A and B are shown apart, each in its own frame.
Chain A
Amino acid sequence: MRYAGPDMDAVLLHVNGEAREVLDVSPTTTLLEYLRGPAGLSGTKEGCAEGDCGACTVVVIDPDAPGGPRFRAVNSCLLLLPLLHGKHVLTVEALSQHGGQHGGQHGGDGPGHHPVQQALVAALGSQCGYCTPGVIMSMFEACYRGDLDAPWKLDDQMCGNLCRCTGYRPIREATQQIAGLRPDDRFGAALAEVGPSTSATLRYAFEGRGGTPSQSFWIPGTLSELWDLMDAHPELRLVVGATDLGLDVTKKGERFPALASLQAIAELRRLEHADGRWSIGATVRLADLEDATAQALPPMARMLRFFGSRQIKNSATVGGNLCNASPIGDLAPVLLALDATMVVAGRSGERRVPAGEFFVSYRSTALRPGELFVRVELPDPPANARVVAYKVSKRREMDISAVAAALRVDVDGGVVTAARLAFGGMAATPARARAVEAALVGQPWSQASCDAAAERIGDDFTPMSDHRGSAWYRATVAGNLVRAMFDDTSQCAMPGLPDRPTSMVGTAGSSSVHHP
C-alpha cells in the first residue's frame, strides 16, 4: 500500500514568506500552537481556542479558491498544522516592514506599516490590543477583497473578531476605509505568484513519546488513495476545515491516531450550477457557496449570511457541516426543503441518498463504513415554489441557531400543492414538520392557512430547553416562522435579505429585498 513504509514527509509551509519544515510535532498541533511555540511568533493570540473570538486570526493563501488564489482569514486556533501543508500563512508580524521594529514612543509609525495598520491606529481601533492582531488580519483579507460593497458585508467580514474594549465603531470605520483597497504591494505580488493549485499530498507520522500516542496524518491526492487509507485504518477521521474536529482537539484534548484531509482531492471541491441543477462538492467552503448562491439560490445564501464568522465560513465545508449531523446543521433544513440528494461514494461506486434519509439520528448519518459523502445535488426550485430560510439565534452573528428553518410551498392556482417545511434545532436531527405540511397542502395559499398550519407545530416537535433557548421559545418561534412565510414570500417567491435586518423573519416589504 502506497502510504506504508518509513519514508514519511515533513509538513512544508511558508510562514510570512519563510519556508518552514516541520517534522517533529504532533499532527494535532494547532497552527496557533505552532506559531506561538516553535515559530516564535507571539503576535497571534489565543482568546478562546474554539473559533469564536478571532484573536487567533491569520491569513492563508487558498490556491484552490474559485476564481484563483486568494487570501482567506481563518482561525489558527482550530486549524491543525498539517492542513497548512504546501500553503502560505501570513501573521500580523508580516505586515510591518522590518517587523515594525523601528523606534519611537509609539512603537514606530509612518511608512513601515501596512494601510490596514495605519487605518486601525488612526481610528483608535485598538485599546487593550489583545484582539488586535486578529482584527488586523481580518482587515487584511478585507483590504484585498473586491466585493465588500454593502454594509452587511463589513459586519460579516468582521463579526468573527470579538473586541471587548472599543465597542467596534472605530474598527468598523477603519475596515470601511481599507476594504477593497488592494494596494499594489508585496502581498498582491505574492498572491500572483501562487499557482492555480498547489494541492500537495502528505504522509506524516509522529512517533509518540513520553505517554503521548503515535499519530499519522495523510493528505491523499485521489479518492482511490483515500479508499486505501480508509481500508487500512478503520479509525481514520476525515478533516478539511477542522472547525468542528479542531474543537475536540482544543477542548477535549483528543489526539486522533489517524487523520486524513480531503483538501487535495480536486473533484470534491467542485461547485457547479448548470441545466437547473446544483452539484455542490463536499469540500466546497461555505464562503464560496454563499458567493455562488447569493443571486441564484437565495434560500441558501440567506442561511449562510449568519451561519458563522467569515473565518469559519472560509474554513468550514459543506461536507463537514452535513456529516457531523448536528441537530441544527443550518444547511440541512435548506437541503431538506429543496429536496436535495446526497451522493456518497465508496470503493465500489456511488450511492444516492435523499437528504431526508441522510440524517438518521442524533449526530448520525446514513454513511456506511468505508463511505464518503462526496457531493450534494439539488434542482433549482420550480417556478411555482416559494422558499424562504430563517435562522434565529441569541446573537445574530456568529451564533448557533436556536431555530433554523427552510420553508417551501409549491402553489398552483392559489392552492398549496406541496409543502416541505424543514427545521433545525427542534429535534434530534434536522427534520420536516409533517403535520404542519399536511395542514397546508390542499389549502389556499393565504395568511389564514399559514396561521392555522402553524398551530400544528406542537404535533411535529417537542423541542428541548438549553442555553440557546427554552422549549417554549423554540416552539413559539417555529410557529411564528410558519406564520411569517406568507408575507415574506408575497413580493418575491425566494426573498433575499435586507442589508442589516433586525431579524430574518417578517422582513417582507423592505426595499433591499432581493427579487430574482
Chain B
Amino acid sequence: MKNQAPPPSPLHQPAIHESGYRHVSGQARYVDDWPLPPGTGHVWVVTSPHARARIVGCELAAARAMPGVRAVLLARDVPGSLHIGPIVHDEELLARDEVLYVGQPVALVVADDLAAARMAGAEVRVEYEVRPAILTIEQAIEAGSYVAEPHVIARGDVEAALAGAALRIDGEVRTGAQDHFYLETQAALAIPGEGRTMTVLSSSQHPTEVQAEVAAVLGVGRNEIVCEVPRMGGGFGGKESQATPFACMAALAAHVTGRPAKVWLNRERDMRITGKRHPFLGRYDAGLDADGRLVALSVELWSDAGFSADLSLPVLDRALFHLDNAYYVPALRLCGRACVTNLPSNTAFRGFGGPQGMVVIEEILNRAAERMGIDPAVLRERNYYGEPPRDRAPYGQEIPWAHNRLPRIHARLMESSGYASRREAIAAHNAASPWQRRGIGFQPVKFGISFTKSVLNQAGAFVLVYTDGTVQLNHGGTEMGQGLHTKMLTVCAHELGVPVSAVRVMTTATDKVPNTSATAASSGSDLNGQAVRHACGILRERLRAVAARMLELSEDQAAALRFEGGAVVHPGSARSLAFPDVAQQAWLDRVSLSATGYYHTPGVGYDHATGQGTPFYYYAYGGVVCEVEVNGLTGEHRMLRVDILHDVGSSLVPTIDRGQVEGGFVQGVGWLTCEEVLVTADGHPVTLGPSTYKIPAVGDVPVDLRVELLPQAEQPGVVHGSKAVGEPPFMLALGVVTALRHAIGSFGPGEVELALPATPEAILRAVQRQRGPSTT
C-alpha cells in the first residue's frame, strides 16, 4: 500500500450511473414497485368532465356498493386543510363546489385493487351545472383573468430608442404546452404508523413539500409525517409541485380507511390531470441599428397558468430573466403576466420559463437576419454581452466579462463544426435539390443559475461513518435520473478519501435532512454538493485528529495528512492508516462519526418591485450548431448533424453531464418540433398517451451527434469548480428552429413564418408560403 500510488479521486472522472446496474437488471425499485403492506388499498381518481362547472350534487351509493370498494371520498372528507399549493394555497385537493378544468380531481375511490376502484369510479355520479370557461390566453386577457399584477423589468427610454432604430422587427410568437412524459407516472404510497404518524413514499422532486402538505391535509404536525423518495422514473419539473396532490390523496385514503393506500396514475390519468410546460404568447417590438445590433426591445409576455397559481409566477419571472438570452439590449421594457384559464395548472418544466422567454429574442434575431440577408450566427455574435457597459442584464446584474464564456464557445464551435464551409455547401446542395433542402443553425445559450426565490438556495446533508469504514450519505436532493446521487457519491468519496464502493447513497427522506428545497432549478449538485462537502469536512477534521494521535503527529504534521485512496496518509513519513482503522479508533476514542452539513448560496437577491437585483449566482453557457434537411413536399425534416459545446465548469462527473446535455437538447427538440398538446374547443384534452402525443424517438436523433464539454472552465465558488447542467442544454434546441428556417428560406425569398412546434404541417405551410401564392 505504501509504495503504490493511491487510486485517483473519482472527482472529474468518467463514471457509470450510480444505479446503472440496478436499472438494467430490473432491480431498481420505484414507488409502484414497492412490495405492498398487507391490506393496501388502491385509489382511482375521479375527475371533472367539464372545463368549468358548479357541483350541484353527488350520488355515491352506487359506487360504494361496487365489489371491493372501501371508501369513496370527497372534499368534505379532508380532515385538515382542503387547500394546497406550492406557493399560494389556491388548489382544492378535491374540488368542493366548483370544478375549474377537465380532469380536476373530484372524488377518490379506494378499493381492494385498481381495477375495482376504476370500475367503481365510473359509478360516481356527480351533477354539474356547466359555466362558461376561459380556454385561451386571448380569452383570459379579454376577461382580465390573471394570477397577479404584471412583472416589469425595464431600463432606458425604449420608445425613443425604437423610434431611432434603423430596423424595426415587430410581431407575435407563440409556444405550446409540453407534457413532461416522464416514463414513470405519478405515484405515492401512504403507510399509516402508530398514532397520527404516516410514512409516504412519493415519486417527488420535493419531499419536504409532500411532508408539509400531507401534514396540512391531515391536520397534524409535520413531525408526524415522513416522506421518502426512493428514486423517480423521470421528473423534469413535473414532480416539483405536482407530485404533492397525489401523495396527499394517498395519505387521505390511508387516514380514512386506516390502512395503507396507494395512488398510481395510469398514463391517461396522468396526462389528463397534471399540468404541462406553460404555453406563452409574446408580442414584441424590437429596434436594431444598421449593423444589426439591438438598440431597443419592448415585449409583452403572457403565460397560460391554467386554473391555479402553482409555480406560474416564478416561471414567468424566469421567462423575463431569460428573454435577453445572451444579448445586450441597452433600452428595454419587458412585461409579463400569467393568465388564469380553465386548463390543468401548468407547472415547472426544465428551463422553467427560460425557453419560452428566449424564443422571443431568437425569433427577432432570426427575422432580422433574414431581412438583412446576413448569417444569423454573425448577427447573434454582434449582440453578445461584452465588456462594460455591455455587461449588465436587464435586471441590473453584472454579467462579468471575465466569466462570459460565449465568445470562447462561439469561436471554438464555429471552427470545430466547420460552420462557414458547411453553410456554403448547403447553398450548393439546395440549388441542386428541388425538394430536399438543408439548413444550418447556430444557437448560443446563457442561463442563470439559482432559485430566483433566493431563500430556496439552501441545502443540507447528513453523513454517517460506520466503524468498518463504510459510509451512508444522506442529502436533501432527489434522484430522478439526472445523476445527482452519482455526483454526490463522488464528492463524498473524494472528501473522505474513500472508494465510491464504500459509500451508499440513502433514500431521500425528510427525517434525515429536513426543510429541503425542491431538486429543481438545475441547483441539485451545486447546493447539495456543498452541503455534502461541509459534512464530510467536519468528519474529516475529527478523523484527522484521531489519525494524528494514532501516528503520534504534531498539530502541524496533522494538517498535512491526506485523505485519499481509502487511507489517511502522512506525506512526510509516507506512513498511512486504512480509513476503516481510523474510523474504528474514533469510536474507541468516543469521537462522533456522523455530521450534518449545510450550505446557502451567498449574495443572491432580487427586488420584484423594482425589477432589479442579483437573482443568479452565476451563468451557465453553451452553444450548438445543427444541420437539418427539410422535405418540401411533406414538411418532414431530419436532423443530420449536431455539434454541441457546453460549459459545465470542471465537471464533477463528465459522463453524467454529457447525458444531461444530450438529453436536455433532445427534449428541447421535442418541444420545438413534434410535441403538440392538443385540447378541444371546450377544453377536453386530446393527447392523452404516446399514441397521440409524440416525443422524439431514437430515429429522430442524428447519428452524428458531437458533444464537447468546454475545457478549462473551472467556475470559482461552486463545488469543485463545476457548474449546473440540468436545464441550460434544453434551450440549445432553439438552434433547430434557426436551421429549419434556413432550409425553408431556400424555397423562396423573404422572411420565414414558421409556427411552433415545427411539425411537418407547420413546416409545409411555411414552405408553401415561401414558394409563393401560385403554388398549391
Contacts and interface: CB of A to CB of B under 8 A. Distances in A.
Interface in A464-501: 467, 469-470, 473, 476-477, 479-481, 483-484, 500-501
Contacts of B717: none
Interface stretch (A159-167, A355-363, A375-383, A413-421): A159-167
A46 B32 CA distance: 10
A96 B635 CA distance: 45
A170 B638 CA distance: 19
Contact of A467 (B232, B436, B678): B678
A101 B21 CA distance: 10
Interface string B266-290: 1110000000000000000000000
| Chain A CB within 10 Å, residue with most, of B502, B658, B697, B700 | B697
A480 B691 CA distance: 26
A47 B26 CA distance: 15
Contacts of B420: none
Contact of B25 (A107, A210, A397): A107
A100 interface: yes
B760 interface: yes
B694 interface: yes
A505 B631 contact: yes
B659 A124 contact: yes
A162 B659 contact: no
B503 to A, nearest CB: 7
A251 B116 CA distance: 15
Contact of A167 (B480, B500, B666): B666
B16 interface: yes
Interface residues of A, number: 96
Interface in B107-130: 115-116, 118-119
A158 B703 CA distance: 14
Contact of B698 (A96, A161, A164, A484): A161
B687 interface: yes
Given A124-B17, A128-B183, A128-B184, A506 B435 contact: yes
B689 A52 contact: yes
A55 B183 contact: yes
B67 interface: yes
B231 interface: yes
Interface string A215-255: 00000000000000000000000000000000000010100
B575 interface: no
A34 B629 CA distance: 45
Contacts of A129: 17, 19, 22-23, 28, 231, 233, 481
B24 A132 contact: yes
A168 B21 contact: no
Contacts of B502: 105
B369 interface: no
Contacts of B146: none
Contacts of A109: 16, 21
B66 interface: yes
A505 B231 CA distance: 44
Contact of B24 (A99, A117, A393): A117
Contacts, number: 309
A104 interface: yes
A171 interface: yes
Interface stretch (A4-12, A36-44, A296-304): A36-44
Nearest to B658: A124
Contacts of A44: 26
A198 interface: no
A195 interface: no
A438 interface: no
Nearest to A466: B686
Given A46-B266, A108-B21, A128-B183, A100 B27 contact: yes
B183 A107 contact: no
19 contacts: A45-B30, A47-B267, A106-B19, A107-B19, A107-B20, A121-B16, A126-B481, A128-B234, A131-B233, A155-B698, A163-B183, A164-B180, A164-B234, A211-B67, A253-B118, A467-B678, A473-B764, A503-B631, A505-B633
Interface of A: 41-53, 55, 91-93, 95-96, 99-101, 104-109, 113, 116-117, 120-122, 124, 126-133, 136, 151-152, 154-155, 158-159, 161-172, 210-212, 251, 253, 392-400, 402, 455, 467, 469-470, 473, 476-477, 479-481, 483-484, 500-503, 505-507
